[in-house]
């Protein structure tokens, strides 16, 4: 364990002339009087992981600033030169609404340009999926988006992409990390850029991107008849406002209602506790607007517009929030059912979900004779699989429980733009069938099984929190529960050890995915509990899934109550609340 004296020595390095005065002043202040802040800022290096960087902004080795970002960019530059030579490398850069995002994007552009790259920098904030599209369209070797997704306002981040438009995966991920670790001093960073190498991307790229989104429409004739559906959309102060209302209009929807307070671009996110469409508070203003205007659908995207939250009216006309599994299943069912009804299948289609996402995705795919692949958490694994199967099989949809969906392969990351448009179209189609979107979900449950999920996040911040999370995972591995909520644990899957243990047959088998710090407990009653530390936030995540048969709409409320009780029993038995 690193001592406080050693932490102070690490901090004193940041008082050198190679750091700007603002940084030096912040470090002096921490050394003089805020030991806890000093420890958190310098006890480790902000890790350039397989998804890039994400951290609290401020001075320090464990903070998001131009120096930690600079080391990441220089390391990435060095790797790109090793891979592609020192001529003809083109990269794209986008950024979201967060504080310092433009500053960080310009710094990244300067470093890339100083390394001799042609840099395509968006003129203003843009959604992450548009960055993914731009990389492929402009034949870039790599790309970066400055965002911390849905994290609190004090965070920012840096996501690195490869030439297929997907986030970096093996073998490039670890190789880039090695290059970043070789940058041991800020003096190794080429900060002095070449402005001649930096070009601006503007609305012409929006137009190209939106044309691809429009190709995802499956029922334009239905929309013509249902174009007046009331749709409230909020970007929660972020990038979605740049393109999502335009996408909805291009699809044919005319009654799009905004939330003026949340149209304002602001990295402090003044109207919400957290800019996270998973959180009920984030949709409060939009739901209020929907009630005032008698709208049918509420949609919210996160700051970089790669994730989507929905609220729909239940059978009593009250707005309820859909979780990520429910939204994903509706979008997937809509795509698969329309492919079937329009005879669009060629026999090589597939969908993707993740190991912590609802098994209902698998059931819906089975019902349509479509293959469903289960990958580790993160859309970089979607992109990797799509690339590996390109020319052999066709990806047509999928998503993950954390509110990320991709309705086609025009980009290689989750996309709230296309997902918003398709969710609105699914609503129009459901209405044309005499149903609301909520009633469509119940129909899916009747056909394929009533699955209900819950996510529980336990936040543990700082150095002590990280250690506590590690200890929790270690304890589950050393002393796994034999029963949970009076139901036997019949199988444990440890993706870190890459072992699946079946306690009914006694069989041990190897998992076919790469190592990941995830544990799953499968119960005799069909319940599933997944546990993993978050890769981007200071928390450990518990995913709970329970299911039962549903015979009719009239049984829905009673069945839901039983599943809720089962979920509460599991959480109580694990002593998590």
**Closest listed residue to residue 485, CA positions, set 511, 521, 513:** 521
Beta-strand ranges (E) seen in 96-141 are 118-122
Round to whole Å and give the CA distance between 216 and 576. 42
What DSSP string describes 341-401?
Answer: HTT---S-EEEEEETTS-THHHHHHHHTT-EEEEE-SSHHHHHHHHHHHTTTSEEEEEEET
423 in helix, strand or coil?
Answer: helix
Residue matched to tokens 């984030």: 282
For residues 107 and 178, the answer to whether their CB atoms sit within 8 Å is: no
Instruction: Point out which residues pair with 451 in neighbouring strands.
Output: 547
User: 544 - beta bridge partners?
Assistant: 454, 529
Token digits of residue 321: 């929030």
Beta bridge partners of 94: 145
Burial of residue 37 (number of CB atoms within 10 Å: 0-12, 13-18, 19+):
middle
Dist. CA 388–CA 207, nearest whole Å: 28
Placement of tokens 């429980």 in the chain = 401
Looking at residue 407, the DSSP 8-state letter turns out to be S
Alpha-carbon dihedral sign for residues 75, 80, 81, 83: positive
Query: What's the rounded Cα separation, in Å, for the pair 43 and 62?
Result: 7
Asked whether 156 and 304 are in contact (CB, 8 A), the reply is no
Rounded distance between C-alpha atoms, residue 357 and residue 384, angstroms: 18
CA angle 168, 325, 366 (to 5 degrees): 90
Annotated active-site residue in 149, 337, 402, 436: 149
3-state secondary structure 237-255: CCHHHHCHHHHHHHHCCCC
* Structure token digits, residue 407: 């309705």
Angle at 349 between CA 346 and CA 354, to 5 degrees: 170
DSSP letter (8 states) at residue 219: -
499-502/508-510 β-pairing: antiparallel
Q: Tell me how far CA of residue 545 lies from CA of 76, 281, 498, 558, in angstroms.
A: 39, 24, 22, 17
Distance, in Å, from the CA atom of 544 to the CA atom of 222, rounded to the nearest integer, reads 37
Catalytic site residue 227? no
The CA distance from 273 to 128, in Å, is 22
**Residue in 91, 137, 94 with CA at minimum distance from that of residue 114:** 91
- How far apart (Å, rounded) are the C-alpha atoms in residues 530 and 455? 10
CA angle at 252 for the pair 247 and 255, rounded to the nearest 5°? 90
Is residue 243 within 8 Å of 128, Cβ to Cβ? Answer: no
Strands 256-258 and 231-234: parallel
Residues recognised as catalytic: 149
């Amino acid at each position: 364990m690193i001592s406080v004296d050693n932490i102070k020595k690490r901090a004193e390095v940041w008082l050198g002339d190679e750091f700007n005065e603002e940084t030096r002043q912040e470090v002096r202040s921490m050394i003089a009087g805020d030991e806890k802040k000093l420890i958190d800022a310098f006890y480790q290096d902000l890790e350039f992981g397989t998804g890039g960087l994400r951290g609290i902004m401020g001075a320090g080795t464990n903070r998001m600033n131009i120096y930690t970002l600079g080391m990441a960019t220089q390391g990435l530059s060095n790797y790109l030169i090793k891979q592609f030579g020192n001529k003809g490398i083109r990269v794209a850069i986008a950024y979201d609404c967060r504080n310092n995002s433009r500053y960080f994007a310009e710094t990244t552009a300067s470093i890339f340009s100083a390394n001799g790259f042609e840099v395509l920098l968006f003129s203003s904030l843009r959604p992450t999926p548009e960055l993914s599209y731009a990389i492929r369209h402009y034949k870039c070797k790599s790309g970066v988006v400055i965002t911390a997704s849905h994290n609190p306002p004090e965070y920012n981040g840096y996501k690195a992409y490869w030439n297929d438009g997907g986030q970096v995966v093996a073998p490039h991920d670890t190789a880039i990390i090695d290059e970043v670790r070789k940058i041991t001093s800020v003096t190794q960073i080429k900060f002095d850029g070449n402005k001649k190498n930096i070009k601006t991307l503007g609305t012409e790229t929006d137009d190209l991107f939106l044309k691809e989104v429009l190709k995802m429409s499956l029922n334009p004739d239905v929309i013509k008849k249902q174009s007046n559906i009331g749709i409230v959309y909020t970007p929660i102060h972020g990038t979605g406002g740049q393109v999502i209302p335009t996408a909805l209009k291009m699809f044919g929807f005319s009654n799009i209602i905004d939330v003026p307070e949340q149209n304002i671009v602001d990295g402090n996110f003044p109207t919400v506790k957290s800019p996270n469409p998973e959180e009920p508070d984030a949709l409060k203003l939009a739901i209020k607007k929907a009630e005032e205007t008698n709208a049918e659908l509420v949609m919210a995207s996160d700051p970089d517009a790669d994730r989507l939250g929905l609220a729909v009216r239940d059978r009593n006309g009250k707005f309820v929030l859909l979780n990520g599994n429910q939204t994903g299943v509706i979008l997937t069912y809509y795509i698969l059912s329309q492919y079937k009804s329009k005879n669009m299948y060629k026999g090589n289609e597939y969908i993707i979900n993740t190991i912590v996402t609802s098994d209902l995705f698998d059931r819906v795919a089975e019902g349509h004779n479509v293959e469903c692949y289960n990958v580790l958490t993160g859309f970089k694994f979607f992109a990797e699989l799509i690339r590996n199967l390109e020319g052999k099989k066709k990806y047509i949809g999928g998503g993950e429980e954390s509110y990320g969906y991709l309705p086609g392969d025009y980009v290689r990351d989750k996309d709230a733009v296309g997902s918003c448009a398709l969710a609105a179209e699914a609503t129009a189609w459901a209405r044309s069938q005499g149903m609301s979107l909520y009633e469509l979900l119940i129909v899916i449950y009747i056909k394929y099984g009533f699955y209900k999920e819950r996510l529980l996040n336990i936040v543990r911040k700082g150095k002590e929190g990280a250690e506590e999370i590690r200890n929790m995972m270690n304890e589950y591995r050393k002393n796994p529960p034999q029963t949970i909520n009076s139901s036997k644990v019949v199988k444990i899957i440890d993706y870190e050890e890459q072992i699946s243990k079946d306690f009914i047959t006694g069989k041990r088998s190897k998992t076919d995915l790469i190592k990941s710090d995830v544990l799953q407990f499968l119960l005799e009653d069909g319940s599933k509990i997944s546990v993993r530390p978050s890769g981007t936030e200071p928390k450990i995540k518990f995913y709970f899934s329970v299911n039962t048969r549903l015979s009719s709409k009239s049984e829905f409320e009673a069945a839901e109550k039983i599943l809720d009780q089962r979920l509460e029993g599991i959480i109580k038995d694990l002593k998590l609340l």
